[in-house]
Amino acid sequence: MVQVPDKPLVPDNSLITASPEDGRALAIMLSRHSIHAMQRELEVLTNGRAQYSHDPYGLIAASHVIAVEFATIAAANNYWRVEPVA
Amino acid sequence: MVQVPDKPLVPDNSLITASPEDGRALAIMLSRHSIHAMQRELEVLTNGRAQYSHDPYGLIAASHVIAVEFATIAAANNYWRVEPVA
Amino acid sequence: MVQVPDKPLVPDNSLITASPEDGRALAIMLSRHSIHAMQRELEVLTNGRAQYSHDPYGLIAASHVIAVEFATIAAANNYWRVEPVA
Amino acid sequence: MVQVPDKPLVPDNSLITASPEDGRALAIMLSRHSIHAMQRELEVLTNGRAQYSHDPYGLIAASHVIAVEFATIAAANNYWRVEPVA
Amino acid sequence: MVQVPDKPLVPDNSLITASPEDGRALAIMLSRHSIHAMQRELEVLTNGRAQYSHDPYGLIAASHVIAVEFATIAAANNYWRVEPVA
Amino acid sequence: MVQVPDKPLVPDNSLITASPEDGRALAIMLSRHSIHAMQRELEVLTNGRAQYSHDPYGLIAASHVIAVEFATIAAANNYWRVEPVA
């Protein structure tokens, strides 16, 4: 069966990104790579994605994980503040 | 099928907002944009929204995600404190 | 259909409260206002509330959201410490 | 119907406790008081408690909320450290 | 019916442990003691444990609570850092 | 029945890792070791893994736990920052 290729858990081995937008994209990637570490079969992943992405509860559950990953990435980047706030 | 237009994951590419109210609105937007990144079909989104927004458990699950996103945004803005507390 | 009136997401546009008790009340309000931002129909809200408030799992799920909102509010208020601890 | 008496959301209106043990007891009380703020009927609460406390998934869900409340209380008390660690 | 003996919520009334390993063991104990505070009947606990420990979703839910407890304990111990990092 | 061998909850008894990639791998290990502390029978674990890893909701739930563990590990490592950000 076709498997997702081997790849790192953390792209570029860093939590530091240039901007919140890039940090958000990294949060999505981190959560996807976790799932690929548990399930490598492409067909299972594709079927699973079709299932949860058409179910509002699946989408909410997935967005919850992204929010938790993003919290870590945002802290790592000191929230991309240009100057200290307050 | 109609798709939601391409858009950034983080509006204005910043977590800094003028007030808690704006930060809360951003938390709602971040969680919506996560979902749009996973599901772009407008019809699926509209149907899903009709489903979870009429189910108290769906509303609670969605409000949980907003709370997690808001925690990050509030920290980024140093809680919009005018002067240091304590 | 009757709708909940328009109102801010964050009452008084501030996370700062006079006491933990007020902070806790704000946590409850924030999570309610999130839900009202997703569902404005009073009848749907009233029915949903009757449902989850008679179900221990619904009450636990809702109390979880309150706990997450409160964590943010407590941090914003530096935990209402009168003097630094330790 | 019998209702739970009116009471504050935060006992003694403070997150500061003498010890981790007291902080843990406060975490349990905070989560209970949240639930009482949503459901005041004693019979509903008693029935709900009989239900979730005999269900491992209910107990796990409730213990999750306690863990989240405790995180806030522990931070408020600077983890009851006698002297700074490290 | 046989009941679990009375015991504190926080063993040794402290979050400070000698090592991450001990901190992890404490996280497991904290979550167990929460559950014992809600359900003291040994038979109910034994049956519940047999149920969730044979169900991957039960094990995942329980491990989630351990992760949240551990986050608090790790922060309390300043992550057992020997010297400040970075 | 075959059991997973005794092993520590925290490999190398440390949260400090050389890189985000290693920290992510540790997060996965921590959550697995939690589960092994609750269920040692290899057959139950293998069956459970086959079940949740073919179910998108199981994969999302497991990835959520990894995200929470990683948040702690990332904080412990000061986010592997080479130099202070901002």
Residues of chain D with pLDDT > 70: what percent? 95
Mean pLDDT (whole number) for A14-38: 98
Mean pLDDT (whole number) for F25-46: 98
The CA distance from C42 to C46, in Å, is: 6
pLDDT band, very low/low/confident/very high, at D82 (cuts 50, 70, 90)? confident
- Of D23, A76, B44, the closest CA to residue E34 belongs to D23
The amino acid at B79: Y
For testing the chain E interface, which of D78, D79, D80, D81 should be mutated: the one with the most E CBs within 10 Å? D79
pLDDT above 80 for D86 = no
* Residue listed under structure tokens 């709370």: B67
* E strand or H helix that includes residue A74: helix A56-76
Our CA-based measurement puts residue E61 at a distance from the nearest CA of chain F, in whole angstroms, of 8
pLDDT < 50 stretches in chain B: 86
Residues of chain A with pLDDT > 90: what percent? 91
Provide the pLDDT for residue D84: 53
The CA distance from E44 to E2, in Å, is: 10
- Of E76, E84, E78, E81, the closest CA to residue E26 belongs to E76
Provide the pLDDT for residue D16: 98
Our CA-based measurement puts residue D21 at a distance from the nearest CA of chain E, in whole angstroms, of 5
pLDDT above 80 for F83 = no
pLDDT in tens, D16-42: 999 999 999 999 999 999 999 999 999
Contact A75 F79 (CB under 8 A): yes
The CA distance from B81 to A16, in Å, is: 26
Provide the pLDDT for residue F84: 53
- Of A34, A58, E43, the closest CA to residue B39 belongs to A58
Between CA E51 and CA A31, with CA A47 as vertex, the angle to 5 degrees is 70
pLDDT above 70 for C34 = yes
* Range in C4-8, C71-75, D14-18, F61-65 the model is least confident about: C4-8
Is C47 an interface residue toward D (CB < 8 Å)? Answer: no
ipTM: 0.96
E 2-31 near D (Cβ less than 8 A): 8-10, 13-16, 30-31
Contacts 24+ apart (CB under 8 A), D41-50: D41/D1, D41/D2, D41/D3, D42/D1, D42/D2, D42/D3, D42/D4, D43/D1, D43/D2, D44/C53, D44/C54, D45/D4, D48/C54, D48/C55, D48/C56, D48/C59, D49/C56
C36: CB partners within 8 A, 6+ apart = C4, C7, C45
Q: Compute the count of residue pairs across chains A and B with CB atoms less than 8 Å apart.
A: 97
Residues of C in contact with B50 (CB under 8 A): none
Average pLDDT, chain A: 95
- Of B34, B20, D46, the closest CA to residue C72 belongs to B20
SS3 D3: strand
pLDDT < 50 stretches in chain E: 86
Q: Which residues partner with D31 through β-bridges?
A: none
Provide the pLDDT for residue A6: 87
C-alpha F29: how far from its chain's center? 3
Provide the pLDDT for residue E84: 53
Is the Cβ–Cβ distance between D9 and C16 less than 8 Å?
A: no
Q: Which regions of C1-86 does DSSP assign to beta strands (E)?
A: none
Neighbours of chain D (3+ CB pairs under 8 A): C, E
Contact B74 C76 (CB under 8 A): yes
Residues of E in contact with D79 (CB under 8 A): 15-16, 72, 75-76
The CA distance from B49 to B54, in Å, is: 8
Provide the pLDDT for residue E6: 87
Is F42 an interface residue toward A (CB < 8 Å)? Answer: no
Give the phi and the psi of residue B41 in degrees, each rounded to 5. Answer: -70, 120
The four Cα atoms B61, C31, A67, C58 give a dihedral, to 10 degrees, of -20
Angle formed by the axes of helices E20-38 and F20-38, to 10°? 40
* Range in B63-72, B75-84, C63-72, F69-78 the model is least confident about: B75-84
F32: CB partners within 8 A, 6+ apart = none
Which among A20, A57, A60 has the least Cβ separation from residue B15?
A: A20
Is C65 an interface residue toward B (CB < 8 Å)? Answer: yes
Is the Cβ–Cβ distance between D9 and C21 less than 8 Å?
A: yes
